[in-house]
Amino acid sequence: MSEQNQYTEDNIRSLDWKEHIRMRPGMYIGKLGDGSSPDDGIYILVKEVLDNCIDEFAMGAGKTIEVTIRDRTVTVRDYGRGIPLGKVVDVVSKMNTGGKYDSKAFQKSVGLNGVGTKAVNALSDYFRVESVRDDKQKAAEFSAGNLILEEDIIDTTKRKGTKVTFTPDETIFKNYKFRFEYIIKMVKNYCYLNNGLTIIFNGEKYYSENGLKDLLEATINVEDLEYPIIHLKEGDIEIALTHSKTQYSEEYHSFVNGQNTTQGGTHLAAYREAIVKTIREFYNKSFEASDVRKSIVTAISIKVMEPVFESQTKTKLGSTDMGSEPGTPSVRTFVNDFVKTKLDNYLHKNPATSDALLRKILQAERERKELSGIRKLATDRAKKANLHNKKLRDCRAHLPDTKNPKNLESTLFITEGDSASGSITKSRDVNTQAVFSLRGKPLNSYGMSKKIVYENEEFNLLQAALDIEDGLEKLRYNNIVIATDADVDGMHIRLLLITFFLQFFPELIKEGHLYILQTPLFRVRNKKETIYCYSDEERKDAIEKLKPKPEITRFKGLGEISPDEFKNFIGETIRLDPIMMDKNTSIEQLLSFYMGKNTPDRQEFIIKNLKVELDVIEKV
């Protein structure tokens, strides 16, 4: 046996807690990322610290939480009871150590496994924890989980509570940047789910009077409501629901014990089932489930005793029962009974709402029947196209014999032209990255009906590749990345694709799945070093760094970047710009302005705001 294949006692090693977290961070915080996605690791770190503050609020200790982010440093301060001073170091540096194991009051908490702040500590270049209680203060500082300073207990006049400051380690989170839009959404969700809680983020105050009703009002404009939001709440469950006048697909916001379960779980499955069952019984009609749920915008929050989630990041509930005590109902029964009783009563008491809901369902039924023929032909056409693999070069994560593809972080690049498609295809990670190649510019779909999605080959095949015909439940890729040249034509294609998604699948954008791929405009190199530059400013800095006179190459399009080089831009160091929606702007207004008739207002806006980083002069 060769020496390198020998297996002896020397091959066995034990890692301490911080080494294991730093070596396998994905086990504790999911993916790493650079902050371009809402579920990237840096936001999980913030959430883990905030979860502890929320648990204090739930215990009746402290009604205000302060969050500050300056550059890359996060500070979270609550006014709860404060960590017992003799355990300040242990709580943030010893696995399976915490107060929630010893209190029934914490059984409806999110953080029950004693890992959260330890992961934050281990994955931070700098971490400081301060606890104040009984007019005393204890503080400690760490770096990469290693204790570097432990202060003595001192007298203080500060208000009681806990303050955590940390800077994520950039050797683990490469080129990361906090996007405040994601933090604000997280903060708002905490407020929606905790009446009476105030969170101050970078000086801005957030508070909610009406829970999930406020969440939906922030999600959908009043003029887009088919009927007033139905808001029902009792004990450990709260729901809010309405239907959109313009949105085609279903939109769900689900929470368990204050955790945003973005992947749903047993409670959301039960809720979707309960809505259909209750409405069928109320109208005494066997509606198709898809007709009942089409265009629905809704939210559900439940509290479960000692919840079981499918991962440390807690994005999907796995619990089948509301608790472990004998006689505790199943999640399915609990949710179904609540919806059946409360929603049925509401519809009986509010005939205007029940009439509007019925009209919406009947409209969905008519549209489905009208589309049924063309939909079948389009589906058959998409299947044949995929078999011949003309437009979609799929990844192994989604091959029929692949187990648990949903557990893999997968990406679909939507490219323009054969050259760009070829470069990405040759340089991609075939396990998790797929490529969809466009032929020319997509159709401007603004103002068109869903029928166009099936009649237009590009849109039909793209919809089939994503598997989003009936909503995001079967979405095949976590990230959809528009990869076009950074010139006028490429930007036009981006706009047309964004229009398509906004028109027919806006929840894809609302849930943070759509991105723009940033690729370098310049390559600056000498014999020793190569620097890729994404802006003219970076180019100037690179020239300054690589004196004297380095070789400078401008990439005019993605097709000019060789496959070997492209690996640098779609791997670990990928740069993505997320497409985000301003909740205060309606989709209809947005599309009308940008994609409607060429009004003087739009011309003036384009003239003032058009910025092309290449040396391209565009006549408007």
561-587 pLDDT, tens per residue? 888 888 888 887 888 999 887 655 667
What was the pLDDT predicted at 210? 96
Calpha distance 89→94 (Å, rounded): 8
Residue 84 has pLDDT above 60, yes or no: yes
Higher pLDDT, 527 or 271: 271
Give the SS3 label for residue 561: coil
Q: 54-58, 135-139, 293-297, 354-358: which has the minimum mean pLDDT?
A: 54-58
Question: Whole-angstrom Cα distance, residue 543 to residue 119?
Answer: 39
Q: How big is the CA angle at 504 (ends 501 and 507), to the nearest 5 degrees?
A: 70
For residue 340, is pLDDT > 50? yes
Q: What is the pLDDT of residue 616?
A: 35
- Pinpoint the residues of the chain covered by CATH 3.30.230.10: 212-367
Q: How far apart are CA 251 and CA 71, in angstroms?
A: 34
Residue pointed to by tokens 């579920």: 39
The pLDDT-based confidence of 168 (bands split at 50, 70, 90) is: very high
pLDDT value at position 353? 97
pLDDT over 90 (residue 17):
no
Is residue 125 within 8 A of residue 167, CB to CB? The reply is yes
Residue type, 468: I
Tally of helices (H runs) and strands (E runs) in the chain: 20, 23
Start-end of CATH 3.40.50.670 domains in the chain: 408-519+555-609
Strand partners, 121: none
Q: State mean pLDDT over 343-369.
A: 96
Say yes or no: domain 17-207 is CATH 3.30.565.10. Answer: yes
Cis peptide leading into 442, omega within 30 of 0? no
Could you give the residue ranges of the DSSP H alpha helices within 467-515? 488-504, 506-510
Instruction: Report yes or no: 48 and 111 within 8 Å, Cβ to Cβ.
Output: yes
Q: What is the DSSP string of 19-57?
A: HHHHHSTHHHHS----SSSTTSHHHHHHHHHHHHHHHHH
Q: Which two tokens stand for residue 412?
A: 């679909």
Please give the Cα distance from 254 to 315 (Å, whole number).
10
Question: Comparing 326 with 229, which gets the higher pLDDT?
Answer: 229
Long-range contacts of 204-207 (CB under 8 A, 24+ apart): none
In the prediction, which pLDDT does 618 show?
Answer: 36
Q: Lowest mean pLDDT of 400-404, 414-418, 453-457, name the range.
A: 400-404
User: How many angstroms separate the CA atoms of 538 and 534, rounded?
Assistant: 6
Decide which of 3.30.1330.90, 3.30.230.10, 3.30.43.10, 3.40.50.720 is the CATH code for 212-367: 3.30.230.10
Please give the radius of gyration of the chain, using alpha carbons only, rounded to the nearest integer. 26
Average confidence score pLDDT of the chain: 85
pLDDT at res. 30: 83
Residue 159 DSSP label: P
Is the pLDDT at 55 greater than 90? The verdict is no
CATH of domain 408-519+555-609: 3.40.50.670
Q: Please give the Cα distance from 348 to 582 (Å, whole number).
A: 36
Place of tokens 């490469």: 174
pLDDT of residue 536: 87
Q: Which amino acid is at 292?
A: V
For CATH 3.30.565.10, list the domain ranges present in the chain: 17-207
pLDDT of 148-162, one tens digit each? 999 999 999 999 999
Residue 415 confidence class, pLDDT cut points 50, 70, 90: very high
Highest-confidence segment of 51-65, 125-139, 305-319: 125-139
Global model pTM greater than 0.75: yes
The mean pLDDT of 109-118, rounded to a whole number, is 64
